[in-house]
Every structure is written in structure tokens, then in C-alpha cells.
């Protein structure tokens, strides 16, 4: 099964919509083309970028991630392209910048839609010539690095509003990859819940929480605006607040927003069955080696042993 491959240990999911993106990502990883990853916040765009990097010829090189929305406009340009000492007030020493830090590897530019028009022009020049112009540097510097960009915005709309350069847009979206929202891969919820519940249990040293059928049905009826990140946070919250319960949690334990999510009649997913199957598959893949199976699942060996007992697999 693909979601337990060693080269992508954390990109869990069997849903066709995700597997299709992973297939395209594998193909593109082997080349050095620029990739644009689109998708809502929390869908796993950065994870996908790491997946592409891990499958590329420069996997041994650095993976440098920058969130363009988190750095103020005036700083972003020098942060990306670097500067010479004395280029401006406060530039007390040379700074190579993140593009050079990613030389021989991958530069991941998250929220690329937030780049200023000036920075967009410089980035386009870099993509076309492979050269950067650090602030205060007389000569351009050649850098070889692969660019992966991501955005949760509709870039084409920004192009129409003249807030994003059309030429950069077309240069970036040579291969567009679209991460599907979690509500379009509901069948993956039990698997993701089991994984992140186990992780939270290990982190907080508590028993692993699980959900009863009614609670799980609420999860699958919910719209998940925060996607996988929101699900991960829910696992932490339930572990902290209800980790001692020792019994599957009911819908009354879920936060208020889930009360609105009314499951369609008869809708429910077999969380226990899914969790048990996940463990069995990991053990099979690890040829019975429990430490390796725990690694594949992203949980500690102790957590695995606990769950083997719980499911009478020990």
C-alpha cells in the first residue's frame, strides 16, 4: 500500500483523489520542472512538496521552506535573494539568502500569491536565467535549485486582478498539482484519526482515544474547513481532554461545530476496523518486525505494542 511507503511516511491516505495527485507527483519528482501546488489550507501542500523533493534527484540536498505570507514585504526580497554587507542600514554582514541556502536542493515557496510585484519580477528572472541579484552585489550569482510553489488562493484570479504576473504564473504552473480538500476524501478520516490519535497519545503519555460510531459519523459529515490540520488538532484536543476515558468517545465529546454536522442516515465508518487493518498492513510490510512497523506508522514501539494487545494481534 502506498501510504506506508518509506519514501512518504507521513502522506497517509488511500482515497483515489489523493492517490491520483501522488501518482502525478512521483512522475514530476523525477524531472526538474517547476511545480505549483494548489489547495486549501491544511490539505498537506507542504507535505506534498517534501514528497516531490524526496523523490527527486536532489533528495540529498536541502529542502528550504519559506512562507511568503509570514515575512513582511520589505524583508522578503533580501531574505530570498540575500545581500552584501553595507547594502542598506542594518546589513552588517553578507547574507546568502534562502535561494542560495537551497542550492542543490529544493526551495519551497508557500503562499506565493503574497509575493510583491517586485519580488515576483526577480523570481521570474531567476527562474529564466538561473541567476539571482543579491542586494548590493555588483554581479549576478548563478544558483541551481528546484522551485516548488504553493498557494491556497486562486492565482489566475490574482492575475486577472493584476496582483500576480501572468508570465510568472505560466512559468510556475508547468505542472499544477491540486491537493483535494479533506471533505472530498472522507474515507481517509478513520486512518488519519487513528494515526494522529496515536501520535497525540504518545506525545502526552496518555491512552489512545477512539470514537464510537456516532461520533465518527459526525466527523464524516463535517466540512473540515481546516482540513487535515484541523483533524490533527482535534486528536490532540480529545487526547488532552478525554484521554483517560478508556472507552470510545461519543459525539458529546466533540467540539460545538460538530453538532451542526448531521450524518446522513446509516452513515458510519469502521474506525476500529480501519485502525486494525492499518496495523496489520504495517506489520506485513515490516515482515513482522515491530520496531519497523511502528516507524512505518509514525508511532512509538510502546504505542504499537499497546495497540497489538488492544486488537488481540499480539
Ligand X SMILES: Nc1ncnc2c1ncn2[C@@H]1O[C@H](COP(=O)(O)OP(=O)(O)OP(=O)(O)O)[C@@H](O)[C@H]1O
Please report, as ranges, the residues that interact with ligand X according to CB under 6 A: 10-13, 39, 41-47, 110, 152, 228-229, 232
Shortest Å, Cβ 59 to ligand X: 18
Q: Rank residues 148 and 209 by Cβ distance to ligand X and give the closer one.
A: 148
Q: Rank residues 235 and 293 by Cβ distance to ligand X and give the closer one.
A: 235
Write the burial class of residue 171 (CB in 10 Å: 0-12 exposed, 13-18 middle, 19+ buried).
Answer: middle
CB 268 within 8 A of CB 213: yes
Q: Rank residues 17 and 135 by Cβ distance to ligand X and give the closer one.
A: 17
Q: Rank residues 133 and 229 by Cβ distance to ligand X and give the closer one.
A: 229
Shortest Å, Cβ 270 to ligand X: 19
In the chain, the N- to C-terminal Cα span, in Å, equals 22
CB 10 within 8 A of CB 187: no
Shortest Å, Cβ 149 to ligand X: 12
Angle, CA of 269, 177 and 157, to the nearest 5°: 110
Q: Rank residues 44 and 82 by Cβ distance to ligand X and give the closer one.
A: 44
Cα 187 from chain centroid (whole Å): 18
Shortest Å, Cβ 279 to ligand X: 16
Query: Closest CB to ligand X belongs to which residue?
Result: 44
CB 127 within 8 A of CB 33: no
Shortest Å, Cβ 40 to ligand X: 7
Shortest Å, Cβ 195 to ligand X: 6
User: What separation in angstroms does the CA of 18 have from each of 21, 177, 298, 305?
Assistant: 5, 10, 19, 30
CB 127 within 8 A of CB 167: no
Angle, CA of 310, 313 and 314, to the nearest 5°: 90
Residue 155's SS3 state is helix
Q: Rank residues 168 and 189 by Cβ distance to ligand X and give the closer one.
A: 189
Amino acid at each position: 500500500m502506498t501510504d506506508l511507503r518509506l519514501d512518504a511516511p507521513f502522506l497517509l491516505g488511500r482515497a483515489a483523489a489523493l492517490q491520483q495527485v501522488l501518482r502525478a507527483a512521483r512522475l514530476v519528482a523525477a524531472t526538474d520542472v517547476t511545480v505549483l501546488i494548489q489547495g486549501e489550507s491544511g490539505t498537506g501542500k507542504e507535505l506534498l512538496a517534501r514528497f516531490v523533493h524526496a523523490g527527486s534527484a536532489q533528495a540529498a540536498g536541502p529542502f528550504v521552506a519559506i512562507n511568503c505570507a509570514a515575512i513582511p514585504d520589505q524583508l522578503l526580497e533580501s531574505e530570498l535573494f540575500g545581500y552584501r554587507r553595507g547594502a542598506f542600514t542594518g546589513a552588517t554582514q553578507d547574507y546568502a539568502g534562502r535561494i542560495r541556502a537551497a542550492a542543490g536542493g529544493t526551495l519551497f515557496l508557500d503562499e506565493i500569491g503574497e509575493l510583491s510585484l517586485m519580488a515576483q519580477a526577480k523570481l521570474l528572472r531567476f527562474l529564466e536565467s538561473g541567476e539571482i541579484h543579491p542586494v548590493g552585489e555588483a554581479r549576478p550569482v548563478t544558483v541551481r535549485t528546484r522551485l516548488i510553489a504553493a498557494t491556497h488562493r486562486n492565482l489566475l484570479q490574482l492575475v486577472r486582478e493584476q496582483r500576480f504576473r501572468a508570465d510568472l504564473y505560466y512559468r510556475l504552473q508547468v505542472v499544477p498539482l491540486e491537493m483535494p480538500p479533506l471533505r472530498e476524501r472522507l474515507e481517509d478520516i478513520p486512518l488519519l484519526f487513528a494515526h494522529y490519535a496515536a501520535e497525540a497519545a504518545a506525545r502526552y503519555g496518555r491512552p489512545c482515544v477512539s470514537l464510537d460510531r456516532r461520533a465518527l459519523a459526525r466527523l464524516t459529515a463535517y466540512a473540515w474547513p481546516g482540513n487535515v490540520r484541523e483533524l490533527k488538532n482535534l486528536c490532540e484536543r480529545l487526547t488532552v481532554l478525554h484521554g483517560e476515558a478508556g472507552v470510545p468517545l461519543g459525539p458529546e465529546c466533540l467540539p460545538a461545530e460538530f453538532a451542526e454536522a448531521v450524518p446522513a442516515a446509516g452513515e458510519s465508518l469502521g474506525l476500529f476496523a480501519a485502525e486494525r487493518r492499518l496495523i496489520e498492513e504495517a506489520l506485513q510490510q515490516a515482515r513482522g518486525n515491530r520496531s519497523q512497523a511502528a516507524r512505518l506508522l509514525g508511532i512509538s514501539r510502546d504505542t504499537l505494542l499497546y495497540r497489538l494487545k488492544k486488537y488481540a494481534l499480539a
